């Protein structure tokens, strides 16, 4: 196998190994995908200020996120259907994150359940929640996360209604998936993936099927999901979740300074500047474009993190220089997962950390708390 030197290498391998409908689900945006592309392009346009003749010894990428020590200020973002990139994908990603020393966030729409991760990961993890109409089910999900010793709850605010993703429609990605002749023929070209799926019992949405009222299989799940995402979501609902949970709370999906101020006032511990990876409002700004104004709006009242377009340690460094105190990666670790399973996620994290550490040194800083706008070329 060729040597993997960057996230792009993992992406190319994942594209060859993961069935098209599931690869495209991870690697796509809504409508014209302009915001999806802008996330990467806007980060790459930011230049560094190189320094020389400075002491580069004693380098460290260690930091904290909501008080939790991390090997670098990077967490694995919640990603739906990670268990379809690779068999038992969420378990493998959680193990890789725990071994490396960064947080893993389990999505509500995961294949492996909260209980699966708790039983198979050596470290506490975070759980991501969508606001749904069935408040009884939501309360049960929160209680399950608490029983699993999750150390933080991440509430996603930008999925009240679904943005249209053309590739999913064309590929027949539905619940259950539409098994056309073209899809079946394509699966035949992915024997490694198929063998992995034959070896696991986890093929459905483990947090929902068998837990939500009258949801017993994929067909009943489809009808349930279609009516559950709550378009009436308000800041009163955020307060309700906060009371139900009682622990560390992260609010994800903030792009506007006014919403950031409301998030800070809500008493949450962190907010994530995010456009859902370009999968919701096409034409919205890149996350890194929205970041500086949000940092200025909230000051130190709440930790500000960023996700969207991060494909390298240099991208992490750019976000930190613009005021983020942490970052999330989604597609980057999914590429590693689809390419190589747990070792691929580990490799993704090592690649990002090495790039971050080296770039910090060449910019004249050796610790995370030294990073600020001074390292950027104006």
The catalytic residues are 276
Query: Which secondary structure element, helix H or strand E, spans residue 229, and what is its range?
Result: none
Distances in Å between the Cα of 377 and the Cα atoms of 19, 45, 316, 321, 326 are: 41, 11, 16, 11, 21
Cite the DSSP H helix spans in the chain. Answer: 7-17, 20-26, 34-44, 89-100, 114-120, 135-147, 166-171, 181-187, 191-198, 218-226, 235-245, 257-265, 287-298, 313-321, 331-340, 342-362
**Exposed, middle or buried: residue 376 (CB in 10 Å: 0-12, 13-18, 19+)?**
middle
How far, in Å, CA of 38 to CA of 42, rounded?
A: 6
Question: How many whole angstroms separate alpha carbon 334 and alpha carbon 10?
Answer: 9
**Cα 340 from Cα 298, distance rounded (Å):** 40
């Amino acid at each position: 196998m060729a040597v993997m030197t960057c996230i792009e290498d993992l992406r190319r391998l994942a594209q060859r190994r993961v069935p098209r409908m599931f690869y495209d689900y991870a690697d796509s945006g809504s409508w014209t995908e302009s915001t999806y592309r802008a996330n990467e392009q806007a980060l790459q346009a930011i230049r560094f200020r190189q320094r020389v003749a400075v002491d580069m010894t004693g380098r460290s990428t260690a930091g904290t996120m909501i008080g939790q020590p991390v090997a670098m200020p990077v967490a694995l973002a919640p990603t739906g259907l990670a268990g379809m990139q690779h068999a038992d994908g969420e378990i493998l990603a959680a193990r890789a994150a725990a071994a490396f020393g960064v947080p893993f966030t389990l999505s509500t729409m995961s294949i492996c359940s909260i209980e699966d991760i708790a039983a198979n990961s050596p470290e506490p993890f975070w759980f991501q929640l969508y606001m749904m109409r069935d408040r009884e089910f939501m309360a049960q999900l929160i209680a399950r996360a608490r029983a699993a010793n999750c150390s933080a709850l991440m509430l996603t605010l930008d999925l009240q209604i679904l943005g249209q993703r053309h590739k999913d429609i064309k590929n027949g990605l539905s619940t259950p998936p539409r098994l056309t002749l073209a899809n079946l023929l394509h699966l035949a070209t992915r024997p490694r993936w198929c063998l992995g799926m034959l070896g696991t019992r986890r093929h459905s949405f483990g947090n929902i099927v068998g837990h939500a009222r009258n949801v017993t299989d994929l067909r009943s799940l489809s009808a349930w999901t279609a009516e559950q995402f709550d378009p009436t979501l308000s800041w009163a609902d955020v307060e309700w979740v906060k009371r139900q949970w009682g622990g560390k709370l992260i609010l994800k999906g903030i792009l506007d300074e006014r919403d950031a101020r409301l998030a800070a006032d809500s008493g949450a511990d962190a907010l994530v500047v995010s456009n859902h990876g370009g999968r919701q409002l096409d034409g919205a700004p890149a996350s890194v474009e929205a970041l500086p104004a949000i940092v200025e709006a909230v000051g130190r009242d709440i930790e500000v993190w960023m996700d969207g377009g991060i494909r390298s340690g240099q991208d992490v460094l750019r976000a930190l220089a613009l005021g983020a105190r942490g970052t999330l990666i989604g597609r980057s670790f999914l590429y590693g997962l689809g390419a190589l399973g747990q070792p691929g996620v580990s490799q993704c994290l090592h690649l990002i950390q090495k790039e971050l550490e080296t770039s910090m040194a060449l910019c004249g800083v050796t610790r995370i708390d030294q990073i600020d706008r001074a390292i950027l070329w104006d």
